Amino acid sequence: MDKDLHSTFAELMFHLLPSPYESQEINHLTLAYFVISSLDILNSLNRVEKDAIANWVLSFQVHPGTKADPNNGQFYGFHGSRTSQFPPDDNGVLLHNHSHLASTYCALAILKIVGYDLSNVDSEIMLASMRNLQQPDGSFMPIHIGGETDLRFVYCAAAICFMLDNWSGVDKEKAKDYILNCQSYDGGFGLVPGAESHGGGTYCAIASLRLMGFIDDNLLSSCDSSLINVPLLLEWVVQRQGMDGGFQGRPNKATDTCYAFWIGAVLKILGAGNFVDNKALRRFLLTCQYKYGGFSKFPGEFPDLYHSYYGFTAFSLLEESGLKSLCSELGITETAAKGL
């Protein structure tokens, strides 16, 4: 992998995202997370101003102002972007609060990456109000005005609580029950109960269980398989590596760069990393590497931010030299996760 080329690519993206990304403006913090975490993995964070990043991220946080009632049904986290952020009215009352769980996860992840001490984040109302998003079945809605509920937001909620080291925002038992309901007959996890097993859903399930402390590191060696069907899961996960060396997200689908992370990270968390044919995976990923930096979804296509990021994380899991190692369950580097 051409590390310098990718660092330059990530730095260019940091300074200006091309116009096609405007259609994802609502997830601006997620786009920023991809860029900034890429720089960190590539050991190139020294190219950017960390304080400016921290201040920018913090400016998306919703402050309800006067003592807001955490039981009013709203969630007070981070806005995803500027278009959804509105100034308070003349009396200082916030009329439009569109805080989002994924944006909140990305905000906190970026803050950790740039070394901001999360104990300085006003998180009391954030955590208390997060409970408003958890549904009776244990799943999470991403935003209080309504939205699809699935494993992605269970993961976001778990990662937020883990990073803040405070679990008051989540009913862990309920969240666990929801996750277990998403395990399919074939061993993988769908995004919602009944849905087809999916690499991304399986990552959210396993990473969440790990963050919530329901499964230990190296689950295989500890033999604690009472919670989920580990042998069936492992069979499903291992078989996601295709003939071309890449990983697919579902059986009988094409291999795709991003699943090298979603599936690779699950194997890592399960302590089953040695089931991967690393050489073949590396070969596949290199066919998706773009000559001017970044990675594409499929071989020989143009790169995008999302697949580039998961290409870098995949190479980090492959222990590519010069890359920082990854905290698989948080989706940031080990150094960022540990606050070093």
Partner 1 sequence: MASGSSEVEEQEQERVMLRDRPEWSDVTPLPQDDGPTPVVPIKYTEEFAEVMDYFRAVFAADERSPRALSLTAEAIHFNAGNYTVWHFRRLLLESLKIDLHDELEFVQRIAADNSKNYQIWHHRRWVAEKLGPDARNAELQFTKKVLSVDAKHYHAWSHRQWVLQALGGWEDELDYCSELLEQDMFNNSAWNQRYFVITKSPLLGGLEAMRESEVLYTVKAINVYPENESSWRYLRGLYKGETISWANDPQVSSVCLKILSSKTLFWILSVTVINRIKTSEMPLRL
306 near partner 1, rule: CB under 8 A: no
Of 186-215, binders to partner 1 (CB under 8 A) are 186-187, 190-192, 194-198
Asked if 232 contacts 202 with a C-beta cutoff of 8 angstroms, the reply is no
Our CB check for partner 1 shows the closer of 49 and 217 to be: 49
Q: Which two tokens stand for residue 241?
A: 């590596």
Q: Which is nearer to partner 1, 47 or 253 (CB)?
A: 253
Residue whose CB is less far from partner 1, 146 or 300 = 146
On whether the CB atoms of residues 260 and 285 are closer than 8 A, the answer is yes
State both tokens at 31: 């786009």
Binding residues among 44-73 for partner 1 as defined by CB under 8 A: 52-53, 55-57, 59
Contacts of residue 70, defined as CB under 8 A and 6 or more positions apart, other chains included, come to 76, 125, 128, 129, 131, 132
User: To which H or E segment does residue 326 belong?
Assistant: strand 326-327
Integer CA distances (angstroms), 109 to 18, 112, 142, 286, in order: 23, 5, 17, 27
Per CB under 8 A, does 86 bind partner 1? yes
Of 77, 201, 73, the residue nearest 149 (C-alpha): 201
The partner residues of 150 in beta bridges, in order of sequence, read 140
Q: How far is the CB of 156 from partner 1 (least distance, A)?
A: 13
Query: Any idea of the CA torsion for 93, 95, 100, 103, to the nearest 10 degrees?
Result: -60
Which range binds partner 1 by CB under 8 A, 28-36, 66-74, 171-179, 271-279?
28-36
Which of residues 25, 244, 320, 334 is near partner 1 by CB under 8 A? Answer: 25
**Binder to partner 1 among 115, 147, 273, 299 (CB under 8 A)?**
147
288 binds partner 1 (CB under 8 A): no
Q: How far is the CB of 28 from partner 1 (least distance, A)?
A: 7
Q: Which of residues 96-125 bind partner 1 (CB under 8 A)?
A: 96, 98, 100
Min separation Cβ 204 and partner 1, Å: 14
Contact call for residue 244 and partner 1 (CB under 8 A)? no
By the rule CB under 8 A, 136 interacts with partner 1:
no
- Which of the 8 DSSP states describes residue 140? B
Contact between 156 and 169 (Cβ < 8 Å): no
229 or 325, CB closer to partner 1? Answer: 229
Q: Which residues contact 317 (CB under 8 A, 6 or more apart)?
A: 260, 261, 264, 265, 268, 273, 326, 328
* Among residues 47, 63, 82, 279, the one that binds partner 1 under rule CB under 8 A: 82
Interface ranges with partner 1 (CB under 8 A): 13-19, 21-28, 31-32, 35-36, 52-53, 55-57, 59, 82-87, 95-96, 98, 100, 143, 145-148, 184-187, 190-192, 194-198, 231, 235-236, 239, 250-253
